[in-house]
Amino acid sequence: MSSGGTVVIADDDPDIRALIALSVTRAGAVVAADVSTGGAALDAIRRCVPDLAILDVSMPGMTGLQVCRAVRADPATSDVRVLVLSAAVDAAAVAEGGAAGADAYELKPFSPRTLAERVRELVRPRPPRATGSESATRFVAPEE
């Protein structure tokens, strides 16, 4: 069931990082990089240009949302899909993720099973971007 996609993981907690990596592997994708800060995440994304970046919001240095905005702003990486993972629970934070250009948002604590499914969806060969609504929690791409 390998979809062969590449994924960059960024989270400051090593246990969570390992859990995400397991989910990614179970989804049949490959962990291209596994970093603990926002800055390192941005470097890794620029270097690898993965299919998907899973970014924690609260990280030392740049936050996941800042990384997401930077990825979207850079033409070289703007096609990289971004899944934001956050411990924040309120709707404002979710909306903020959408505004930053994230493709999906998962709340901590997350189910590794659900995350694996989400990874599978996100690393699938890309249909034309405009269709946009593959799952209920996907954001409509911000108008640019």
Partner 1 sequence: MGSFASGFWLPRGVGGRLRLLANDSDILAGRQLGILAVYLLAHLMFLVPGVGVTDGQAWVVGLAAALMAGATATAFVLRLPGMPVRAVMVIPLLDLVAIGFLRAGTGGAGSVFAALLILPVLLLGVQPGMLPLFIGTPLIVGVVFLPQLFDPTSMADGQWIRAIFTPLILVISALWIHGLKHRLNSRVEAVQVLRRKQEELLAEAQDNATASIAASNLIQESAHQMAGVLDAVTEQSIIGTDLCGRIDVFNTGAQKMLGVAAHEVVGRRNVVDFHLPDELSRRAGEDPGDTRSPLTAPVGDGDADVQDWTYRRADGSTLRVRVAITARHDAAGDVEGYLYVATDVTEERRQARSKDEFVNLISHELRTPLSSILGYLELISDDDEHPLTAEQTTYLATIERNAQRLLRLVSDLLFTAQVESGRFALQESDVDLGTVVSASLEAARPVATARDVSVVLSRPATAPHVWGDATRLGQAVDNLVSNAIKFTPPGGRVAITLSTTAGDDPEREMALISVSDTGIGIPADEIDRLFSRFFRASTAVQFAVPGVGLGLTITQAIAVAHHGTIRVASTVGEGTTFALALPLTPVDDPVEAPPPADGVRAGGLPSRG
Applying CB under 8 A, does 21 fall inside the site for partner 1? no
> Per-residue DSSP letters for 13-59?
-HHHHHHHHHHHHHTT-EEEEEESSHHHHHHHHHHH--SEEEEESS-
Report if residue 103 touches partner 1, rule: CB under 8 A: no
Region at 28 (left for phi over 0; alpha for psi -120 to 50; beta for the rest): left
**Residue 94 makes contact with partner 1 by CB under 8 A:** yes
Which of 87, 124, 135, 137 binds partner 1 (CB under 8 A)? It is: 87
Does 141 help bind partner 1 (rule: CB under 8 A)? no
Total residues interacting with partner 1, rule: CB under 8 A = 24
- Answer yes or no whether residue 22 interacts with partner 1 by CB under 8 A: yes
The nearest distance, CB 88 to partner 1, in angstroms, is 8
Which of 47, 113, 124, 129 touches partner 1 by CB under 8 A?
A: 113
Under 8 Å between Cβ of 55 and 35: no
8 A C-beta contact, residue 50 and residue 67: no
User: What one-letter code names the amino acid at 13?
Assistant: D
108: contact with partner 1 by CB under 8 A? yes
Helix (H) or strand (E) holding 137: none
Name the residues that contact partner 1, by CB under 8 A: 13, 15-16, 19, 22, 58, 87-96, 98-99, 108-113
